[in-house]
Structure 1
């Protein structure tokens, strides 16, 4: 029986109700790709985004199964294009919908378990020079994406600070400043940054990221201890409140496993 009933998240709220839902490609349209040929990029993008918009606690298993089935149609690919796009879209959804980050982390855990071992990428090799495939490849993409998106967010902070300064300087008591492009850019950057950090914490709690990786993020957020930026303090608080007692405990050393924590996921 699904353990979603024990989640703190609401099962009657859809992510698509919070973000405008993209056009959904009906799942039946994927049947044309199931004859040994991987789906084309536009079909992957539209279908996965549509499925992610429909993903809820109540429909976790059927929707996640469809996403995994699509990933597994890419067994004949040599560059891992489909899997990379799926990871990118999951991160995009998680960053934009912080309240569903635990659900998206559980989706990642299920993909690691259920992905075909024949899904590979000739461009990503292990220490013995062999292509990485299956769950190991997906987890590799997860780690890389965490680092890349965090670095990208870090680089965007300066732009956000400049935009915020412009908003503060142009405040004149009118509503114009609150509806300026600069204001929305600041708010979007902040929201996505906190969403990413929350998602990173949830991945760690489900044993998808190691303690060392999380400590690296903590160190980055503590880079300016004497005069920290507001968003860095908020990000650090978000990360520490998410991982809680799972960090720096004897159990944390076991966070190299790729199995899901059944107590958190269905």
Structure 2
């Protein structure tokens, strides 16, 4: 049907009138906003923003880009120059520490990062609540070292987990093993993957981080960020339960001595080391000690007898260029 010009004009005016009567949409305050837009409103000084940035840098950190990426991490820590409590630096220390103990293979690199941070943290970074014996604020690298060592001490004294939690996890694992075995027998060889409880996997993570912690502590000592006295105190604590040893403490002891034994076993400390290894031999001779732990003890004892020369050198982290040279 063909409309005359006047009819078309009348129809258009009617449509415009209907549009004008439509109420505009009201945008709710809790509406979804795309991340690309929401990031524009993020405070770059907020802990959430800093944590995301530093975690990203830590994930990118390698031996090849160590200098450039570590400089960026230090720049974030130095934002505490504008604070009175060193909050940003403490956050960066926490993130580096968590990364180091969770990835033992790269402990040496993270220890190097901490050494560099201690040397390059601005002297304007301070915490008004942290003072020396003269009542003066502790600043810069000294403040960094204090917080890092406090974090190491807190986690070391806590251990892998509370003994009760470990026993509960062991009981859960035994129950899970029995359930998985029954399921496998019922379904034959196609029984599918074995699944354990969340508590069991949490215990494995605690063990990994516990061993990562002592390795990290050892690497800090080798870079002279920890003293010999602290190392001896750690060893004494791990050897304090000769009559009723806990496996996690003995395994941590073996990992620590494997890391620092050569540097710690000096003529000056020979008396202490002889006592430590005498106790370790007693543990190895104890029939109540699990064979797996006994084997680790004997490995460290033999390592000292070989003047700390490993039987089979373990390849550590290396640069791509070095790997290509070895091929």
TM-score of the alignment, normalized to the shorter chain, above 0.5: yes
TM-score range, shorter chain: 0.7 to 0.9
Q: CA deviation at 1:251?
A: 8.8
Q: CA deviation at 1:131?
A: 0.7
**Distance in 1, Cα, partners of 2:240 & 2:195:** 30
**Distance in 2, Cα, partners of 1:171 & 1:67:** 44
Q: Is the 8 A contact 2:176 2:196 kept in 1?
A: no
1:229 partnered with 2:235: no
Higher relative contact order (CA 8 A, sep 6+): 1
Give the match for residue 75 of structure 2: 69
**Aligned pair count?**
217
Q: 1:154 to 1:186 in 2, by over 3 A?
A: closer
Show structure 1 runs of 5+ residues with no match.
1-28, 34-38, 253-266
Q: 1:103 to 1:127 in 2, by over 3 A?
A: same
Q: 1:251 to 1:101 in 2, by over 3 A?
A: farther
Superposed CA deviations along residues 83-132 of structure 1, whole A, max 9, x for unmatched, are 11111111100111000000000000000111111111111101110110
Q: 1:85 to 1:251 in 2, by over 3 A?
A: farther
User: Considering only CA atoms, is the larger Rg found in Structure 1 or Structure 2?
Assistant: 2
- Compare 234-243 and 206-215 and name the one that shifted more: 206-215
Superposed CA deviations along residues 112-169 of structure 1, whole A, max 9, x for unmatched, are 1111111111111011101101000001011101111112335534312321132124
Show structure 2 runs of 5+ residues with no match.
1-39, 185-192, 270-327
Q: CA deviation at 1:218?
A: 1.1
- Compare 127-136 and 219-228 and name the one that shifted more: 219-228
Give the match for residue 152 of structure 2: 146
Q: Is the 8 A contact 1:156 1:189 kept in 2?
A: no
Q: 1:154 to 1:183 in 2, by over 3 A?
A: closer
1:198 partnered with 2:215: yes
**Distance in 2, Cα, partners of 1:157 & 1:195:** 19
2:130 paired residue among 108, 124, 137: 124
TM-score (norm 2): 0.62
**Distance in 2, Cα, partners of 1:164 & 1:242:** 28
Give the match for residue 103 of structure 1: 109
Give the match for residue 44 of structure 1: 50
More helix by share: 2
Give the match for residue 211 of structure 1: 228
Give the match for residue 99 of structure 2: 93
For residue 162 of structure 2, give the secondary structure of its aligned residue in structure 1: helix
Q: How does 1:167-178 map to 2 (within 5 A)?
A: 167-172=173-178, 173=181, 174=183, 178=195
Superposed CA deviations along residues 20-73 of structure 1, whole A, max 9, x for unmatched, are xxxxxxxxx9xx96xxxxx22112211111111111000100000001111112
For residue 132 of structure 1, give the secondary structure of its aligned residue in structure 2: strand
1:243 paired residue among 238, 260, 276: 260
Q: Is the 8 A contact 1:79 1:122 kept in 2?
A: yes
Structure 1 outlier segments of 4+, above 6 Å: none
Q: CA deviation at 1:189?
A: 0.9
